[in-house]
Structure 1
Amino acid sequence: MLDGYDCPAILVSLDYQILATNQNYRKEFGDVSIQASPRCYEVSHGYSVPCDDAGEDCPLSAVLASGHKERVLHIHQTPRGKEHVDVEMLPIFDDDGKPQFFIELLKPVAVTSVGHENGTLVGRSKRFNAMLEKITRVSKSDASVLLLGESGTGKELVAQAIHQSSGRESKSLVTLECAGLTDSLFESELFGHVKGSFTGANNNKTGLVELANGGTLFLDEIGDVPLSMQVKLLRLIETGTFRPVGSATVKHTNFRLICATHKNLMKMVGEGSFRQDLFYRINVFPIYVPTLRDRMEDIPLLVSNLLNRISKQKEYYLTDSALQRLKGHSFPGNIRELSNILNRAIVLTDTNIIDVVTIDECLSIDYEEYDDAFLDVKKTITKGEEEPHLVDLKTAEKNYLAELMTIFQHDKDKVAKVAGISLRSLYRKLEN
């Protein structure tokens, strides 16, 4: 029965014992000694108690509660290390209609990583796993996806993961960055144009919607699409038809639509800058991409992955104190900011070990730019004509830092962290 499934599968008893495995399971995860009466949570996680007693969702408990099949995303131990696995639990009922056995189907999630370098998405935090579970669910459908979240969180990587996990993987993922495009440029990029349709159109151009036929079209920063173009985009989504600029020929295309934005589209609808009908067309399945602040426990994994990407010739490592300093940073620029900091650190360090002093120097660069800008403003004001609010701001800042120094008994590391500035900036502000 288990070999009838085209994915790894095991048969589990009511008390979590693995009773049988199929060939796909043994090939993917290795042999399990059935004679030793192993429990599924011992083999998959190394736990001594069921998953729900260890702080994770347990599919078996979920089936007992609902009476029907359930699905969860877990991190399992595998011969390759820890990996994300999409787990589906199917109940087998006895004559009285009560669950007696369970078939557990395990499908590794190939587009993510929990420490090795094969995946594109990296993480293991609760917020990351919640996002990944939605990705695995929606990928198999053709539903339009709207990715929401701050800039720098990795929405384009999420779009790639959805495409790679879909039935359209063999076709193209075509991306259009909507920010900064004029009406005419947006229309030409999206639909293409024919030769001579406007000044500078010296050749025919194939539009991105045509290139995305059979695959996926990713519209990044959809909130920046010109209002006049939104009705044409809506018609494309509803009918799958379009006309290149300057052409009378109607063409057809079939693509899966993924959009992304850092803006509040619902608010824009209320303000009249985004069409309500277009909003509901693209907002079929929204996925929130968490900020780095929401998943700080993923920083060690992200750091390791980013360092490997930045420098393939030389391995770099962060000290524990350097990692702790990064975990105390607010990261308004999210993963993109973390990548910038690590790039700076590689430039500034003299060895392959990145310490806390180097990280402090990397963090201080942004604050120095702010401080210099502040000083430039002050220089434009002649002596004796200083505006009161600038004097008050500097006095208030000094008083605030002095109060923090008293509260934390002159522990400058803690004061800098609480104040949201680098240690180097703190020293400078205390001296001035």
Structure 2
Amino acid sequence: MDMIVSDSVSHSGLASMLEGYDCPAILVSVDYQILAINQHYRNEFGEVPVANQSRCYEVSHGYTVPCDEAGEDCPLSSVLQSGHKERVLHIHQTPRGKEHVDVEMLPIHDDQGQLLFFVELLRSISVASAENMSNKLVGASKRFNQMLEKVTRVSRSDASVLLLGESGSGKELVATAVHQGSQRANHSLVTLECSGLTDSLIESELFGHVKGSFTGAHNNRTGLVELANGGTLFLDEIGDVPLSMQVKLLRLIETGSFRPVGSSAIKHSDFRLICATHKNLAQMVKTGEFRQDLYYRINVFPIYVPSLRERQDDLPLMIATLLKRISKRKEYHLTDSALQTLKRYDFPGNIRELSNILNRAVILTDTNLIERSTIQECLNIDNELSQQSDSGSALHLDSRTDVRGADDETWVDLKTVESRYLSDLMAFHGNDKEKVAEMAGISLRSLYRKLEALRFNE
């Protein structure tokens, strides 16, 4: 609700009211001047020279003109147009560097409806980074910020979230951000990758089973739904759940109750549901491949996760972040020409593919400076395999069939290619299988199968 004050209330009186907010708050005039700040603001962002008539856009962004004149959304300008409070996600300059901040602008009118001041509330978003290298969501582009604003809004609720986007675009990190920004953050985020699982295996993974319920069930097993009690259940690639299992999943979502495989006991779990898919579920509903009632149950709050090519402005930041994650002991950098080569690439595999390319580059380079030729060599690995696939060759990395190389003179054993690649990754990351699976863009379960097939297991 917008604030109305008596004509007798001065801005000094309003300044004292700022201390009533539980977040950083500033009092701003209609011409962008910062008139007062509260103690929460001082603690988080530092002191502001109010007496020097500092403007909000100067302090928060380092701009010489208002945000909307600098190509960004301006909450003050939005309030002037709408006449009521507005919210905008901004990237602010802070003592810690650039950070994402959720800005809420409240107009203050007098008894006659005349606009007097604005109260600006600022809440830092800890689940994302605009600059720092971390395991958080990383980005600063407009498309990224639009997505992050939705993440911030829905995190505070308990609504089911459906993440839509191409494979490798970072949907699992977004799910983690939603969980970490929620009131359930102190409880577990439990993930099930549904792709490639049969309905019986999904049922056992989700609901658990009792000893002797089927061949191989040598012990009781607690299901993921029970482990997610109080926290968040994340179903990745929900579009791959078999139809026969979808009705059981629907019942779980509607009632919160389930029955472990082989048990007659009904159990209950209180969890927040997040689903993700790269498939068009609406089209699957039309073709009968996905239940309509389940679709509407999981599609309460959809969030589109943009592909890497839709957020090209984030590429340098993503590269720097991934290189730091790949090598914590040695710092790597790309030459300008290497960066330009990547900027011209479409990244059909998105962030996961970029990570693979940089992993290869770190392995192939002899210095900490990655040249254009090294990046091109990394890109050629996939290009050559893709060309063979287009020509009709059956390219499966676990295939025992040889195919011709790009020069048509040498023969390439694809199993050997994969063997060398995984061997190099294992050596580079000190046999850390979780790290290798992440860098190779496959699940840990898939990695173990490949290592066993390739006889890499220790």
Q: TM-score, normalised by structure 1?
A: 0.86
The partner residue of 1:17 within 1, 20, 33 is 33
**Where do 1:151-170 residues align within 5 Å?**
151-170=167-186
Q: Which residue of 2 aligns with 1:182?
A: 198
**Where do 1:324-339 residues align within 5 Å?**
324-339=340-355
**Where do 1:193-342 residues align within 5 Å?**
193-342=209-358
Secondary structure of 1:134's aligned partner = helix
2:134/2:321 contact within 8 Å kept: no
The partner residue of 1:86 within 102, 117, 132 is 102
Amino acid at match of 1:121: L
Q: Hey, what's the Cα distance between the residues in 2 that align with 1:81 and 1:90?
A: 26
2:188/2:228 contact within 8 Å kept: yes
Q: Hey, what's the Cα distance between the residues in 2 that align with 1:15 and 1:282?
A: 45
Amino acid at match of 2:94: T
Amino acid at match of 1:32: V
User: What is the CA distance between 1:372 and its match in structure 2?
Assistant: 4.8
Q: TM-score, normalised by structure 2?
A: 0.81
Cα RMSD (Å): 1.4
Amino acid at match of 2:326: I
Q: Which residue of 2 aligns with 1:387?
A: none
Instruction: Give the 3 Å change call, closer, same or farther, for CA 368–273 of structure 1 in structure 2.
Output: same
Q: Hey, what's the Cα distance between the residues in 2 that align with 1:20 and 1:262?
A: 47
Q: Hey, what's the Cα distance between the residues in 2 that align with 1:183 and 1:368?
A: 37
* Cα deviation code 1:7-56 (max 9, x no counterpart): 11101111111000011111111100111000000100111111111111
The partner residue of 1:47 within 48, 63, 66 is 63
Instruction: Give the 3 Å change call, closer, same or farther, for CA 12–270 of structure 1 in structure 2.
Output: same
1:192/1:207 contact within 8 Å kept: yes
Amino acid at match of 2:66: P
Instruction: Give the 3 Å change call, closer, same or farther, for CA 267–311 of structure 1 in structure 2.
Output: same
Give aligned pairs, total: 378
1:110/1:119 contact within 8 Å kept: no
Are 1:128 and 2:128 counterparts?
no
Amino acid at match of 1:146: L
Q: Hey, what's the Cα distance between the residues in 2 that align with 1:256 and 1:373?
A: 42
Q: Which residue of 1 aligns with 2:20?
A: 4
Q: Hey, what's the Cα distance between the residues in 2 that align with 1:299 and 1:220?
A: 25
Secondary structure of 1:88's aligned partner = strand
Q: Hey, what's the Cα distance between the residues in 2 that align with 1:278 and 1:134?
A: 22
Q: Hey, what's the Cα distance between the residues in 1 that align with 2:121 and 2:283?
A: 42
Secondary structure of 1:106's aligned partner = strand
Secondary structure of 1:158's aligned partner = helix
The partner residue of 2:378 within 332, 351, 362 is 362
Secondary structure of 2:200's aligned partner = helix
Q: Hey, what's the Cα distance between the residues in 1 that align with 2:108 and 2:175?
A: 36
Q: Hey, what's the Cα distance between the residues in 2 that align with 1:132 and 1:98?
A: 34
Secondary structure of 2:187's aligned partner = coil
2:107/2:117 contact within 8 Å kept: yes
Q: Hey, what's the Cα distance between the residues in 2 that align with 1:326 and 1:66?
A: 42
User: What is the CA distance between 1:348 and its match in structure 2?
Assistant: 1.2
Amino acid at match of 1:127: R
Instruction: Give the 3 Å change call, closer, same or farther, for CA 286–372 of structure 1 in structure 2.
Output: closer
**Where do 1:106-145 residues align within 5 Å?**
106-118=122-134, 120-145=136-161
User: What is the CA distance between 1:119 and its match in structure 2?
Assistant: 5.3
**Among the aligned pairs, what percent are the same residue?**
74
* Cα deviation code 1:330-353 (max 9, x no counterpart): 100000110011011111111100
Are 1:96 and 2:103 counterparts?
no
Q: Hey, what's the Cα distance between the residues in 2 that align with 1:357 and 1:235?
A: 55
Q: Hey, what's the Cα distance between the residues in 2 that align with 1:375 and 1:271?
A: 31
* Cα deviation code 1:304-348 (max 9, x no counterpart): 000000001100001111111100001000001100110111111
User: What is the CA distance between 1:276 and its match in structure 2?
Assistant: 0.1
Q: Hey, what's the Cα distance between the residues in 2 that align with 1:337 and 1:375?
A: 22
Q: Which residue of 2 aligns with 1:192?
A: 208
User: What is the CA distance between 1:99 and its match in structure 2?
Assistant: 2.4
Amino acid at match of 1:174: V
Q: Hey, what's the Cα distance between the residues in 2 that align with 1:254 and 1:376?
A: 50
Instruction: Give the 3 Å change call, closer, same or farther, for CA 250–305 of structure 1 in structure 2.
Output: same
Q: Hey, what's the Cα distance between the residues in 1 that align with 2:85 and 2:218?
A: 59
For structure 1, list consecutive stretches of 5 or more residues without a partner in the other structure.
379-432
The partner residue of 1:76 within 85, 92, 106 is 92
The partner residue of 1:60 within 47, 54, 76 is 76
